[in-house]
Amino acid sequence: MQFTEVLDHFFIEYRTSGHHHSRAGWVQLDCPLCGKGSHKFHLGYNIKGGYCNCWKCGKVALSSVFYSILGKARYGEAKELLGKVDVVQSPSIRFKGNGGVLKRPVNTGKLLKQHIKYLKARGFTKEQAQLWELKGIPVSIGFSWRVYIPIFYKGVEISYTTRAISNKATLRYRAAEESNEVYPHKKVLFGEQFVRDAVIITEGPFDAMSIGPGAVAVCGTSYSLEQVKEMVKFPTRVVCFDSEDTAQERAKNLTDTLSLYKGDTYNVTLDAKDAGSASKGEIEALRDTFLEYNN
């Protein structure tokens, strides 16, 4: 049974094409938690993975979607039908020697006031922190006083990176060691779960989070062949690296590579040093030009 058949059964409106939020492999519908009846189709159901992501709410449980739409009376019927939906998990994730167990830094938990103060200083709201599922790390060997940034791939949290809340820290970002990952983070794109048609490619996660859903990060100053393969899945690709000369050299090289593939590729240089420090107006202009997710 197909997921769209369940939607048809309950007369739930959806889009698989013809809408700017549509992308192959996804079914778009209104998120009952933030946009019921809006016809903005912010909620995406991944056909292969069997999971949902909303551009505003983040990861949403499929059970919550149907319960919110149908109510208690018909949820039992929906649950029975959903159990018959064909879900083919992608075989591309290869668990490594750690048995596929994600090992977070010790004491990773809720955001504390120190983390929240740092995020607010960077212009982040509580809702944005929830969207990206950010957590806080207080005292922890090698990871003290950092923001924990989870990295998802095909609906699974496979790795993480962290950002020191002190600008005096020698190492601003520190990512998971290979032995602590389910799957290597340098083979995926941070934020890809929110991308549908157009993608804005940045270097650091805070750059991507500052731009919002539709932006991804390669998590560093370098990118891998596997990450390039992920980028070319999207028909519109926008490279938006830091504005400094060395970063722009990397941006040009990546743009040249992506231009070899079918689709449109652009290289954008911001007036600010990077997207994380760009003005609200500059970010809005970037989104208005290449993304339509707010419509």
Write the pLDDT tens digit of every residue in 150-194.
999 888 899 999 999 998 888 999 999 988 999 999 999 999 988
Q: What are phi and psi of 149, to 5 degrees?
A: -120, 105
- The reply to whether 127 falls in a domain is yes
**Domain edge (last residue) among 166, 187, 208:** 187
237 in a structural domain = yes
Q: Are residues 78 and 17 in the same domain?
A: yes
Lookup result for tokens 């103060």: 117
Torsion on CA atoms 183, 186, 191, 195, rounded to nearest 10:
-100
Q: Percent of the chain, pLDDT > 70?
A: 94
Kindly state the DSSP code that residue 61 receives in the 8-state scheme.
-
Does residue 280 belong to any structural domain of this protein? Answer: yes
Residue 90 has a pLDDT of: 47
Q: What is the model's pLDDT at position 164?
A: 96
- Would residue 174 count as lying in a domain? yes
48: in domain: yes
What is the extent of the structural domain holding 251?
Answer: 193-290
List the CATH number of the domain containing 120. 3.90.980.10
75-89 per-position pLDDT tens digit:
888 888 888 887 655
For the chain, the domain total comes to: 3
- Statement to judge: residues 51 and 131 lie in one domain: no
- State how far the Cα of 176 lies from the Cα of 160, in Å rounded to an integer: 6
Residue 139 lies in a domain: yes
How far apart are the C-alpha atoms of 198 and 238, rounded to whole Å?
8
Contact of 272 with 282, CB cutoff 8 Å: yes
Six-digit token string for 40: 């903005």
> Residue 57: pLDDT above 70?
yes
**What average pLDDT does the chain have?**
89
At 80-129, the pLDDT tens digits run: 888 888 765 544 555 554 557 899 999 999 999 999 999 999 999 999 99
pTM for this structure?
0.79
Name the residue with tokens 């189709």: 41
